Amino acid sequence: MGQGSNSSTLRQYNERVVISAVRKMAVASKPDLARHIGLTLQSLTRIVDALEEKGLLEKSGRRTVGIGQPSNLYQIKADGLFSIGIKLGRQNIKYVLSDFAGKIIEKTLHRYKEPTPEQLVTLLHSRVEQLLTKLAPVQRERFVGVGIAMPWFLGNWEAQGEMAPEIAQQWVNIDFAKLLEEKLPYRIFFENDCSAAAAAELYFGELKALNNFLYIYIDTFVGGGLVLNGSLEKGIHSNAANLATLPVPPSKLDSQRHTGNWDTLVNRATIATLLKHLRYHQVNIDNIADLAEVIDDNRGLVHDWMQDCAEGIVFCIMSCVSFLDLETVVIDAQLPPYLLIELISMIKRRLAAIPTVNLFIPSVQKGSLGEDAIAIGGAILPLYSHFAPDRTVLLKGGVPDRLQQK
């Protein structure tokens, strides 16, 4: 690689660092940014001026400190870029149209069951085109792509009863990324769903001051993300913090089969387990969105699951802090907010009762983005790729390339 290429790559990296810093600080002057990032004021000034010229930063007032000229303050320019983020889940797809400041302009949800790859591609194409009609022609020129946040290993849904064997096999055999790129005439980026949600909390959430945290997202399944030193740690296969497979003691629920001394977190701390527990007791709902219709008469069953879930997550947290020095664990979920608050309270009480000899127990906080976290995480991918090298892992048959069986 020549010197010009190195210079270009470094400039792109520094632009990304500056954008990230401004996003975390909300508004900042050039001296603020120079001190925060560790660049000279001269270098920082060139980067900020270039980002302002590109329409990615804008002035936001002035601030006077002591004697001298007041400093211009800068913030993210909301209409600098636009993107679409998609949460491709096990029971639904959520779409968000986002501006560069992370504000959701439009969002929509589509439920499904046992989708084939072709069905999903057709649906994605239709909904993306619908969302783009919300942008004015001048805004369309600043649309930079579609980010898809989805679980890896889609063909494995069969094992959890989420998908018929013949449909699961289609996911194993097909190159989903290629199929989608042939249909959608836009740049497409992929990321693991819960890593994307962790990035959304890091950059667009209300907990921007956190620099080291484990992120846990309770959905149909459970997943995680890891943020270290203010950056998302994805791992070499983009599969870091894959909490679903973490060993935990067996569930105490009567709806769960106990076949050994250990189980995995996916069988304790998931909405799928909650729905299974309800159905075991003849409360038949297929989607967490329907919980409000039955919870008043079945609060005891939901509480039993919450206790079991809390114990599994506490074991998960203690396992992680044994080798990761974390300040915080952030938990979000596709649960009604009042249930998530109660679940987090259960987890906090259990952690507080653990002896802390030679151990630092992290604080536990509720995520700020809720059920939109994964889709917003998807929207981040094309935004950042516009001015930084993209390192996401494309999928082949629902499996990252480096994990694809030969």
pLDDT recorded at residue 8 = 67
DSSP secondary structure letters along 287-343? SGGGGGGTGGG-HHHHHHHHHHHHHHHHHHHHHHHTT---SEEEEEESS-HHHHHHH
Query: Residue 225, CB half-sphere, CA atoms under 13 Å: how many?
Result: 29
> Where do the structural domains in the chain lie, given as residue ranges?
3-76, 80-196+374-403, 206-368
Task: Give the 3-state secondary structure of residue 219.
Answer: coil
Residues 6+ positions from 30 with CB-CB distance below 8 Å: 41, 44, 45, 48, 71, 72, 74
Treating both helix axes as pointing N-terminal to C-terminal, what angle do 3-25 and 41-53 enclose, rounded to 10 degrees? Answer: 80
Q: What is the reported pLDDT for 68?
A: 61
**Could you tell me how far CA 282 lies from the centroid of its own chain?**
34
CA distance 141 to 362: 44
| Contact between 127 and 180 (Cβ < 8 Å) | no
The 3-state DSSP composition of the chain as helix, strand, coil percent (nearest 5) reads 45, 20, 35
Q: Given this chain, do its domains 3-76 and 80-196+374-403 carry the same CATH topology? A: no
Pick the CATH number of 3-76 from 1.20.1260.10, 3.40.50.300, 1.10.10.10, 3.30.420.10: 1.10.10.10
User: Which homologous superfamily is 206-368 in?
Assistant: ATPase, nucleotide binding domain (3.30.420.40)
What is the enclosing helix (H) or strand (E) of 121?
Answer: helix 117-132
pLDDT in tens, 317-336: 999 988 888 889 999 998 99
Instruction: Please check whether residue 226 is in contact with residue 232, taking contact to mean a CB–CB distance below 8 angstroms.
Output: yes
Give the least confident one: 42-51, 92-101, 148-157, 360-369: 148-157
CATH number of 80-196+374-403: 3.30.420.40
Q: Between 260 and 17, whose confidence is greater?
A: 17
Instruction: Please answer whether residues 118 and 403 qualify as being in contact, where contact means their C-beta atoms are separated by less than 8 angstroms.
Output: no
Give per-residue pLDDT as tens, 92-119.
889 999 999 989 999 998 887 777 778 8
3-state class (DSSP) for residue 383: helix
User: Higher-confidence residue: 404 or 151?
Assistant: 151
Q: What pLDDT sits at residue 404?
A: 46
CB 134 within 8 A of CB 127: no
Across the range 203-230, mean pLDDT stands at: 89
